[in-house]
Amino acid sequence: MYNRLIASLIILSIWQFAICDAQWIGDSVNESHVHKGIQYVYNLSFDSARAEFQFVARSKPDHPAGHFFLAMVEWWKIITDIDNKSRDDKFISMLDRVIDLCDERLDKNEDDITGLFFKGGSLGFQGRLYGNRQDWLKAANCGRAALPIIMKAYKLEPNNNDVLLGIGIYNYYAAVIPEIYPWVKPLLIFFPKGDRSKGLNQLRVASEKARYADIEATYFLLQVLQNFENQSLEAQQLAVRLNKRFPNNVIFNKYGGRCQASLAQWSELEQTYLAILAKVKAKQIGYDMNTEREANFYLGIAQMNYGQYDLALQFFYVADELSRTLDIDGNSGFMTMINLKIGMIYDIQGKRNLAIMQYKKVLDMKDHQQAHKLADEYLKKPFKNS
């Protein structure tokens, strides 16, 4: 648990950091190709992105930029198909090459900004992948190696708005994690203290003013506001901005729907997730079974709030069936909540025996968002729609 928390703290402070570093390439032609490639990456146009970054890698084979951004194409392939591990080794190997190129620069000049940023970023992305794969020891090791590199780079470039992304992430999480897990505080004495409000402000500045990191900063700020700060309205505004700019990005698309759910904007949510299901059917990149399950779950929630219980059950049944295929390593939070909602609808419909069966199923699953507590309550007293 300790390694997991420390890894999360450090990795989240660095994993997106190097996306901003194209400014050290040194010529406008290659910077233009990097900018175009970044736009393509976020819109999941992977072939076009790769072509742009290959131009940079061929033009400057000893510079880490082109090679790093080629690895970022693989990264977005991974996170839009997160259960597929077939690209992991290639991704790690590509970043190892970037680290080697950075070390060559740092051997000549230990204060080489380009070498510091791209090495720190590469270690951060490796750590993020290891964290996603539950390999917390490797994740923590990547974090410990990267943090002093990032801090040194920040001292060398303290007024760079792009740099504020990585430092803002660190400041925020270094403050938030001890608040969530107070017992972790003694374990963090060797790390710089965080500042929640300062971190948020740094992320906002990076989102508005960063030259290269504005997209990453906006995306991360969106996650923080939605998942930790309970500021869904501001998060929704950011999601709308990202969705308009990158309409093919499934992750940005889903965050828009999640914000709508938090704000109880059921009509808007319905439009969002029905459009997402259409993209799933069209087999667009990233619109996979996980996305299909999420869409059916939230559409079920919307219909439940409309009082359309039979239609809600249809969506929940589809989501539950998808969960049985997806949750090969144990039930997900989706499966737990889907079965709880089905039981609640059965109670509303007067199907008490079926509702009881659902609540017992929930108690046999991993707990999620107090589902066990609710299932216990509804076993004692049938759920009633208020």
**Burial status of residue 98 (CB atoms within 10 A of its CB: 0-12, 13-18, 19 or more):** buried
Both 139 and 220 in a single domain?
Answer: yes
Asked if 146 and 130 count as a contact pair (C-beta separation under 8 A), the reply is no
Which residues lie below 8 Å from residue 40, measured CB to CB, with a gap of 6+? 46, 48, 49, 52
Longest dimension (CA), the chain: 76
CATH number at residue 96: 1.25.40
pLDDT of 216 reads 85
**3 state SS of 364:** coil
Are 138 and 125 in contact, with CB atoms under 8 Å apart? Answer: no
**Which carries the bigger pLDDT value, residue 370 or residue 17?**
370
d(CA 163, CA 282): 39
SS3 label, residue 195: coil
**Residues 91 and 212 placed together within one structural domain of the fold:** yes
pLDDT score recorded for residue 239 = 96
The CATH number of residue 362's host domain is 1.25.40.10
Q: Tell me, what's the pLDDT at 4?
A: 45
Is residue 370 assigned to a domain? Answer: yes
Supply the DSSP symbol for 367.
Answer: P
The verdict on residue 97 lying in a domain is yes
Which of 212, 229, 246 terminates a domain? The answer is 229
Q: Which of 75-89, 133-147, 221-235, 243-257 has the lowest mean pLDDT?
A: 133-147
The confidence score (pLDDT) of residue 344 equals 98
Average pLDDT over every residue of 378-383: 96
Helix (H, G, I), strand (E, B) or coil at 149: helix
pLDDT higher than threshold 80 for residue 144: no
Packing angle between helix 136-156 and helix 2-14, nearest 10 degrees? 40
Amino acid at 5: L
DSSP letter for 20, please: G
Q: How far apart are CA 32 and CA 2, in angstroms?
A: 43
The set of long-range contacts for 285-288, using a CB threshold of 8 Å and a minimum separation of 24, is 285/44, 285/46, 285/80, 285/248, 285/250, 286/44, 286/80, 286/81, 286/249, 286/250, 286/251, 287/250, 288/80, 288/81
Query: Residue by residue, what is the 3-state secondary structure of 51-79?
Result: HHHHHHHHHCCCCHHHHHHHHHHHHHHHH
pLDDT at 296 over 70: yes
pTM: 0.85
| Number of domains into which the chain is organized | 2
Structural domain span for residue 349: 288-380
Is residue 202 located within the same domain as residue 295? no
23 secondary structure, DSSP code = G
Please report the pLDDT score of residue 190 as a whole number: 65
pLDDT, one tens digit per residue, over 151-186 is: 788 788 887 787 788 778 878 877 887 787 676 677
**Measured distance CA(287)–CA(349) in Å, rounded:** 33
Asked if residue 120 lies in contact with residue 14, where contact means CB atoms within 8 angstroms, the answer is yes
Q: Could you read off the pLDDT of 215-264 as tens digits, one per residue?
A: 989 998 999 999 999 999 999 999 999 999 999 999 999 999 999 999 99
Q: What is the dihedral of CA 328, 334, 339, 345, to 10 degrees?
A: -160
Residues 164 and 50 in one domain: yes
**Residue owning tokens 């299932």:** 375
